[in-house]
Chain A
Amino acid sequence: MEQTMSDSPADNRKSRYERVAYYPGCALEGSGHAYNRSTKEVGKALGLKLDEVKNWNCCGAMEVKNIDPKVQTYLSSRVMSIAANEMGAQVVMAPCNGCYHNLKKAEHDLAHDEASREVVDRISKKAGHATYRAGQLETIHALDWIKHGIGEDELKRRIRNSLQGLKVANYYGCMYTRPRHIFPEKDQGTGSESTSQPHFMDDLLAAAGAQNVDFPLKTACCGGAHTLSDSDTSTKLVLNILRAAEAAGAEVIATECPTCHSGLEMHQVRAEKVLGEKTSVKMLYFTQLLGIALGLSPRRVGVHENVSDSGDMLKSKGLA
Chain B
Amino acid sequence: MPIHEQSLIRPENIKSHEKLVLDGVDVSGHWSTFIAPRVVTDYNERLEEEIAALPGGEHIHRCWQCGSCTNSCTVNAVNPDFNPRYWIYLVRMGMESELLRDKEIIWQCVSCHKCTYACPRDVVPEGVMKATAHWLELKGHTPKSKSMHFDEEFSEQVFATGKIEEGRIIRGFFARTGQPLFQEWLVEMARRIARKFPIKLGLLMGIAALIRPRTRGWAKARDAISEYVEEQQAKQRDALGLVELASSELPGAATKRPRDRGDHGADDVR
Q: List the interface of chain A (C-beta within 8 A of B).
A: 26-27, 29-31, 33, 55-58, 60-71, 74-75, 78, 119, 122-123, 126-128, 174-175, 177-180, 195, 220-221, 223-226, 228-230, 233-234, 236-237, 265-266, 269-270, 273-274, 304-305, 307, 309, 311
Q: Which residue of A lies closest to B74 (CB)?
A: A221
A178 touches B162 (CB 8 A): no
User: A residues within 8 A CB of B197?
Assistant: 304-305
With A27-B166, A66-B148, A307-B193 as contacts: A71 and B229 at CB distance below 8 Å: yes
Judge whether B112 and A273 touch: CB under 8 Å.
no
Task: Report chain B residues within 8 Å CB of A228.
Answer: 146, 150, 170, 173
CA–CA, A225 and B220, complex, Å = 29
Cα–Cα distance between A129 and B22 once the two chains are bound (Å): 80
Contact in complex: A174, B112 (CB < 8 Å): yes
Contacting A68 at CB < 8 Å: which of B112, B170, B193, B232?
A: B232
Are A26 and B163 in contact, with the CB atoms below 8 A? yes
Interface 1/0 per residue, B139-155 and A, CB below 8 Å = 00000011111111011
In the complex, the answer to whether A68 meets B164 with C-beta atoms within 8 Å is: no
The residue from B146, B221, B229 contacting A229, defined by CB atoms under 8 A apart: B146
User: Can you list 21 A-B pairs with a CB-CB distance of less than 8 A?
Assistant: A30-B203, A30-B204, A63-B151, A64-B155, A64-B158, A65-B130, A68-B55, A68-B229, A70-B55, A70-B228, A74-B225, A123-B225, A127-B221, A174-B114, A221-B114, A223-B110, A228-B150, A228-B173, A237-B78, A237-B110, A273-B188
| B32 proximity list for chain A (CB < 8 A) | none
Chain B positions within 8 Å of A64 at CB level: 151, 154-155, 158
Question: From DSSP, what is the main secondary structure of chain B's interface residues?
Answer: helix
Instruction: Kindly report which residue of chain B lies nearest to residue A311, judged by CB atoms.
Output: B196
Query: B111 at the A/B interface (Cβ < 8 Å)?
Result: yes
List CB contacts (< 8 Å) of B225-259 with chain A: 225, 227-229, 232
Residues of A within 8 A of B188 (CB): 269, 273
A243 shortest CB reach to chain B, Å: 14
Q: B residues within 8 Å of A by Cβ? A: 55-56, 74-75, 78-79, 108, 110-114, 116-117, 127, 130, 134, 145-152, 154-155, 158, 162-167, 170, 173, 177, 184-185, 188-189, 192-193, 196-197, 200, 203-204, 208, 213, 215-218, 220-221, 223-225, 227-229, 232
| Alpha-carbon distance between A305 and B199 when the two chains are bound, in angstroms | 9
- B131's closest neighbor in chain A, by CB? A66
A304 to B200, CA, bound (A): 10
Evaluate contact between B185 and A273: CB separation under 8 angstroms.
Answer: yes
- How far does the Cβ of B134 sit from chain A's closest Cβ, in whole Å? 8
| A57 pairs with B215, CB closer than 8 A | yes
The answer for the CA separation of A64 and B155 in the assembled complex, in Å, is: 5
Question: Which residues of chain B come closer than 8 Å to A174, judged between CB atoms?
Answer: 111-114
Q: Which residues in A have their C-beta under 8 angstroms from that of B196?
A: 304-305, 309, 311
Residues A309 and B163 in contact in the complex (CB < 8 Å), given A58-B158, A179-B116: no
A55-B147 Cα distance, complex, nearest whole Å: 29
The residues of A that contact B221 with a CB separation of less than 8 Å are 57, 78, 123, 126-127
CA distance A230 to B148 in the complex (A): 11
- Complex contact B150–A229 (CB within 8 A): yes
Pairwise interchain contact B166-A274, C-beta atoms closer than 8 A: no
Q: Which of A62, A178, A233 contacts B108 (CB 8 A)?
A: A233
Closest approach, in angstroms, between the C-beta of A289 and any C-beta of chain B? Answer: 18
